[in-house]
Chain A
Amino acid sequence: MRNILDLEGRLVGEAPIDIDTTRRLYRAMVEARAYDKKGTTLQRQGRLATYAPLLGQEAAQVGSAAALDPNDWMVATYRDAAAMWMQGYPWEVLFLSRSGDERGGRPPVHVDVLPPSITVGAHMIHAVGIAWAEKLLGTSRIAITYFGDGATSEGDFHEAMNFAGVFKTPTVFLCQNNGYAISMPRERQTASATIAQKADAYGMAGEQVDGNDLFAVYAATKEAADRARAGDGATLIEAVTYRIGPHTTNDDPGRYRDPEEERAAHDRDPVERVRRYLENEGAWDGDWEETVQAKAATTIERAVELAESLDSPSPADIYGAVYEEMSPDLRRQLEGIES
């Protein structure tokens, strides 16, 4: 398992990014955590629909997304808000999506990040098709897809990996093995020793990395992206992390795991690890931390305000997004509803 930063924030390998970039990514992880905390709070207040926390997975998401080019494609899930935001999907649109509003699936025009996949597993092949199209079009754009350990049990995982292998598509498969698929532990998903080793069977590169190590995730993703861009095909990265929170706000992990395990997971906190590293390097102090935290809080508050300032979609909005042009039968139905 690739590891660059140890639990104390000491380098055990070569840092893939400089201090300034590390500070920027630290801020990003802090902001992601602020978003995540807000998500859970808003759901408790009835202002969001179900919310799936990403707590503990900040390094896996921020570190991998940081290794992409700004115009690379991303196809991710309900738990990948931090990765999507890194690639340009605004917090307010993510909040909209979680609040039960179709407009939450519509990022700005220059952001090629698909709406979060709610079905488990079916979306990975989309990143294969997209990357394949870019290859056929002769661009240097690649596609990354995020999914959990549970998703690797779906049949579509096999089809996606198999197509990516056969057609050498420039795709990065980023599996966040966070230990659980709702209540089912990783051992119930596969008898393979690792998820990364599945890459072998498809004739592509595969690697297991410490998913709570920002540097390890960044380095592995950067190499995978470079490999894809060079025409050398897809890579499967297994980022080993831990879902500290519940599966969603409707879930009670007390039914299936020892609370002690959750407490222990805090020792592996991915954000704290980078903070210690920066402190060791003399690039962190309490004042800066306060600024970073305050800035994150205001940004997230502002995003909530923006998301909540929109009226609910009208029937015409909903009917208007079935086809490019509303068909006569739908128009007739809509008129019936509006009259």
Chain B
Amino acid sequence: MSELTLAGAITDALATALDKDQRVLVIGEDVGQTGGVFRITDGLLGRFGDQRVIDTPVAESGIVGAAFGMAVAGLRPVAEIQFMGFSYPAYDQILSHVARIRNRSQHRFTAPLVIRMPCGGGFGAAEHHSESTEVIYAHLPGLKVVIPATPYDAKGLLLAAIDSPDPVIFLEPIRLYRLVREEVPDGYYTVEIGKARIESEGTDVSLITWGAMTHEVREAVEVLSGHGISAEMIDLRTLRPLDEDTIIESVQKTGRAVVVQEAPKTAGFGAEIAALIGERALYSLRAPVERVAGWDTTIPLKKAEHRYMPTTETIVAAARRTMEA
């Protein structure tokens, strides 16, 4: 066991995978010498060499396209995109090729690669550095979309992603990178992709979230408990394939649901959860499903960013509205 941050757990997972499987390699901008802008790949170049830890030109489409080719040819590349907001030049590669090659070739060719990208805001960064566009990836058949919220999950999910026979978009909430430390097992273990985690059980209302918002939702559970409200917190961990049953069973039990996302509200992934509850648990509901989300605006820059973000207070207020309905 080691006490690791979420960032440290990802580094540990990469080192573990590079060590375990010769086919694994890390590829991206500045991942070698400097260890990446968030230092996630720090130390890997020295340990594994420049054939396994590859610094590339600044070219996201090239990185993903080349990693795709490597995966087709039998390697297990882990590509790093510096920020989610810079993943869009590679979006065509991801949508048109990475996600589709299994379908296009009827299993004859596959692209088992992982594309890591730091995501989310709340730290006053420059424009384009605070994006939460997970839904544009979760919408694509053929991709798996994973977003860990704890150091333990981060390591286990990344190792599972690298082992996955299908391509995985691995989202890393920047705000959580160094927020807490947690005991993380040494060596190899995996956390199953496609399984949500019930962080705390409750009977009155289900709070469903993922990524950095787990932090505010966790606080909201505490506050609600002070008001005598028993909230159940679900951290989805995987957006696609979605663990529908865990969500539905929870809502059937509590009869109330609040979906919390950092992304803008309209057509966000929270809408998918609300629709799912409408389809499969409508008659269990005792109140309308609440969505707590970012504004339907571009995420504001540093000075106004905190006003955009869902907070513990807005989450508590939404949960209380469901209790009063």
Q: Which residues of B contact A115 (CB under 8 A)?
A: 101, 104-105, 109
> Nearest A residue to B69 by beta-carbon distance?
A129
In residues 249-273 of chain A, which contact B (Cβ within 8 Å)?
none
Asked if A73 and B73 make an inter-chain contact with CB atoms under 8 angstroms apart, the answer reads: yes
Q: Is B214 an interface residue (CB 8 A)?
A: no
Interface residue from B101, B165, B244 paired with A332 (Cβ < 8 Å): B244
Q: Which residues of B contact A73 (CB under 8 A)?
A: 73
Asked if A119 and B92 make an inter-chain contact with CB atoms under 8 angstroms apart, the answer reads: yes
Q: Complex: how many Å from CA A317 to CA B107?
A: 11
Asked if A122 and B72 make an inter-chain contact with CB atoms under 8 angstroms apart, the answer reads: no
Contact indicator per residue, chain B 64-77, by CB within 8 Å of chain A (1) or not (0): 01111111111100
A119-B92, A123-B97, A159-B62 known; A106 and B241 CB under 8 Å? no
Q: Complex: how many Å from CA A299 to CA B18?
A: 49
Contact indicator per residue, chain A 105-122, by CB within 8 Å of chain B (1) or not (0): 111010000110001001
Q: Complex: how many Å from CA A155 to CA B92?
A: 12
Binds B, one of A131-139, A183-191, A207-215, A290-298: A131-139
Q: Is A197 an interface residue (CB 8 A)?
A: no
Q: Is A163 an interface residue (CB 8 A)?
A: yes
Q: Is A160 an interface residue (CB 8 A)?
A: yes
Q: Is A329 an interface residue (CB 8 A)?
A: yes
Range for the number of chain A residues in contact with chain B: 35 or more
A122-B93, A125-B62, A162-B59 known; A324 and B110 CB under 8 Å? yes
Q: Is B303 an interface residue (CB 8 A)?
A: no
Chain B residue total in the interface (Cβ 8 A) = 43
A327-B194, A330-B241 known; A322 and B69 CB under 8 Å? no
Asked if A105 and B106 make an inter-chain contact with CB atoms under 8 angstroms apart, the answer reads: yes
Q: Complex: how many Å from CA A107 to CA B105?
A: 8
A125-B65, A323-B142 known; A106 and B107 CB under 8 Å? yes
Give the one of B69, B108, B110, B241 with max A CB within 10 A.
Answer: B69
Q: Complex: how many Å from CA A163 to CA B57?
A: 7
Q: Is B56 an interface residue (CB 8 A)?
A: yes
Interchain nearest-CB distance for A90 vs B (Å):
13
Asked if A105 and B104 make an inter-chain contact with CB atoms under 8 angstroms apart, the answer reads: yes
A128-B69, A136-B75, A163-B56 known; A114 and B105 CB under 8 Å? yes
Task: Kindly list 11 other residue pairs between chains A and B, CB separation below 8 angstroms, not including A122-B93, A155-B61, A323-B166.
Answer: A125-B66, A126-B65, A126-B66, A126-B68, A128-B65, A130-B70, A133-B69, A134-B73, A156-B65, A156-B93, A328-B194
9 CB-based A-B contacts, threshold 8 Å: A102-B104, A105-B105, A106-B107, A123-B97, A125-B62, A125-B66, A125-B68, A129-B70, A130-B72
